[in-house]
């Protein structure tokens, strides 16, 4: 195999419509392209998260075909061949499967990580060290699947959890995954936090490409046949026609349900978890977006031209530098202004924005 590092690849899955961040996030500008901390988009943060670990020529992005131009322009070093453009979204098993089948056809020794495009993770050096350990775990035994767990800081009910089992010898803080559990109620979340053996399921992984292909063939053969056909044509002139014809026919399911759960029960595979002790923010709602904006002494957060008298605990966001937002005596509101739509809600009701976005006429989505 030569230099094992030469077979390390990274991938970012940048799907999702981001409707809980409407009207900032729209069909033409999904949440992963929104500017956040430091003025970079979430996708740019994810791209640079592997700097020094995986070179740009071995980085892949899987996202909507319609965003090829804007994403390609935003990520310096992303080649057109490494942009896997989905004609339609077919859930995460097909996004991960597409990456695995294409990589396996290019490099039979490929090991790749799967990263998400809607997280802020700090410090970056701590993340990179754990990512490298994840590669090592899989390189030592290609039958291993690695998932990264975030050490919980509170009893969150909005995340899935992974429970760690026995330690894997020879690695720094690597464990067999004992079980995965869906979003718990408050009582169970408190129990998980107190136990000290549970982590938030980050949705980030490391796989051997050929092992993932084999797993999809076994657990989801109805996906594998189409993915194999696409991979065979991907680096040929038939790429566009094959993708457009085959990909929309693939059955939708998540990588967790389709592969990770049956893999955890399969004697030929070992699902591992590596805990990460770092700051991890899933920027999926206005409540979490607020945490990317500095607060003043009254708990107000804003990136807008905002004039106020006596308000508290506000989030005011605008992408229009010619518009001023003015408030007086308000508390706990979220105000988001764009050139053609304005959202006003309370922080308590911010999770319901998705319902609103789904009721908005198509022209404003």
Question: For residue range 245-283, what is the model confidence (pLDDT) as tens digits?
Answer: 999 999 999 999 999 999 999 999 999 999 999 999 888
Distance, CA of 164 to CA of 176 (rounded, Å): 6
The contacts of residue 7 (CB under 8 Å, 6+ apart) are 1, 107, 109, 110, 111
pLDDT at 78: 97
Question: Model confidence over 303-354: pLDDT tens digits?
Answer: 999 999 999 999 999 989 899 999 999 999 999 999 999 999 999 999 899 9
Question: Model confidence over 88-99: pLDDT tens digits?
Answer: 999 999 999 999
pTM for the full predicted model: 0.90
Could you tell me what percent of the chain has a pLDDT over 70?
A: 99
200 pLDDT band, cuts 50/70/90, is very high
The contacts of residue 78 (CB under 8 Å, 6+ apart) are 47, 56, 59, 61, 71, 72
The answer to whether 42 and 118 are in contact (CB under 8 A) is: yes
> How far, CA to CA in Å, does 328 sit from each of 86, 97, 128, 315, 344?
46, 52, 45, 14, 14
pLDDT at 2: 57
Distance, CA of 118 to CA of 46 (rounded, Å): 8
Ranges of each domain in the chain: 4-282, 286-364
The contacts of residue 34 (CB under 8 Å, 6+ apart) are 18, 21, 24, 25, 41, 42
Distance, CA of 199 to CA of 202 (rounded, Å): 9
pLDDT at 158: 83
The answer to whether 278 and 238 are in contact (CB under 8 A) is: no
Residue 10 has pLDDT above 60, yes or no: yes
Distance, CA of 319 to CA of 59 (rounded, Å): 30
Question: Model confidence over 130-180: pLDDT tens digits?
Answer: 999 999 999 999 999 999 999 999 998 888 999 999 999 999 899 999 998
pLDDT at 34: 83
Q: In this structure, what are the phi and psi dihedrals at residue 295, rounded to the nearest 5 degrees?
A: -100, 150
pLDDT at 39: 79
The answer to whether 132 and 174 are in contact (CB under 8 A) is: no
Q: DSSP assignment of 23-66, as one string?
A: TTSBTTB-GGGSB-GGG-BHHHHHHHTTTTTS-GGGEEEEEEGG
Question: Model confidence over 116-133: pLDDT tens digits?
Answer: 888 899 999 999 999 999
Using the CB atoms, write b or e for 130-154: b if 16+ within 10 Å: bbbbbbbbbbeebebbbbbbbebee
Of the candidates 256, 259, 277, 258, the one whose C-alpha atom is nearest the C-alpha of residue 268 is 259
Question: Model confidence over 202-235: pLDDT tens digits?
Answer: 999 999 999 999 999 999 999 999 999 999 999 9
Distance, CA of 238 to CA of 71 (rounded, Å): 23
pLDDT at 284: 83
4-282 — its CATH code? 3.90.550.10
pLDDT at 159: 87
Q: In this structure, what are the phi and psi dihedrals at residue 198, rounded to the nearest 5 degrees?
A: -110, 150
Token pair for 24: 């900032």
- What average pLDDT does the chain have? 93
C-alpha of 344 from chain center: 27
DSSP code, position 312: B
Of the candidates 56, 33, 173, 51, the one whose C-alpha atom is nearest the C-alpha of residue 124 is 51
DSSP code, position 67: G
> How far, CA to CA in Å, does 16 sit from each of 184, 297, 335, 341, 355?
23, 35, 23, 21, 16
Q: At what angle do helices 221-234 and 239-246 cross, to 10 degrees?
A: 160
Of the candidates 245, 221, 248, 250, the one whose C-alpha atom is nearest the C-alpha of residue 233 is 245
């Amino acid at each position: 195999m030569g230099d094992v590092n030469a077979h390390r690849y990274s991938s970012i899955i940048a799907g999702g419509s981001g409707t809980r961040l409407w009207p900032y996030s729209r069909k033409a500008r999904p949440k992963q392209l929104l500017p956040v901390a430091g003025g970079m988009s979430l996708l740019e943060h994810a791209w640079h998260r592997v700097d020094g670990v995986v070179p740009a020529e071995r980085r892949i992005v899987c996202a909507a075909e319609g965003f090829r131009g804007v994403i390609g322009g935003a990520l310096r070093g992303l080649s057109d061949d490494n942009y896997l453009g989905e004609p339609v979204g077919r859930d995460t098993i097909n996004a991960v499967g597409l990456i695995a089948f294409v990589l396996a056809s290019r490099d039979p020794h490929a090991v790749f990580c799967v990263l998400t495009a809607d997280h802020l993770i700090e410090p970056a050096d701590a993340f990179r060290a754990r990512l490298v350990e994840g590669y090592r775990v899989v390189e030592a035994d290609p039958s291993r699947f690695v998932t990264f767990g975030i050490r919980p800081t509170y009893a969150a009910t909005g995340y899935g959890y992974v429970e760690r089992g026995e330690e894997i010898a020879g690695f720094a803080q690597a464990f067999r995954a004992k079980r995965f559990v869906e979003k718990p109620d408050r009582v169970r979340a408190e129990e998980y936090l107190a136990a000290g053996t549970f982590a938030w399921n980050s949705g980030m992984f490391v796989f051997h490409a050929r092992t993932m292909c084999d797993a999809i063939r076994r657990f989801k053969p109805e996906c594998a046949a189409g993915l194999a056909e696409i991979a065979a044509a991907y680096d040929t002139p038939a790429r566009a026609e094959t993708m457009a014809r085959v990909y929309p026919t693939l059955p939708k399911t998540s990588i967790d349900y389709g592969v990770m759960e049956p893999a955890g029960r399969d004697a030929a595979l070992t699902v591992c978890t590596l805990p990460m002790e770092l700051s991890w923010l899933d920027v999926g709602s206005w409540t979490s977006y607020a945490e990317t904006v500095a607060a003043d002494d009254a708990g107000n957060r804003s990136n807008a031209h905002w004039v106020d008298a006596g308000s508290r605990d506000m989030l005011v966001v605008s992408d229009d530098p010619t518009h001023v937002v003015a408030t007086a005596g308000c508390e706990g509101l979220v105000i988001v202004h764009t050139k053609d739509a304005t959202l006003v809600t309370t922080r308590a009701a911010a999770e319901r924005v998705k319902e609103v976005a789904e009721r908005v006429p198509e022209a404003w989505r």
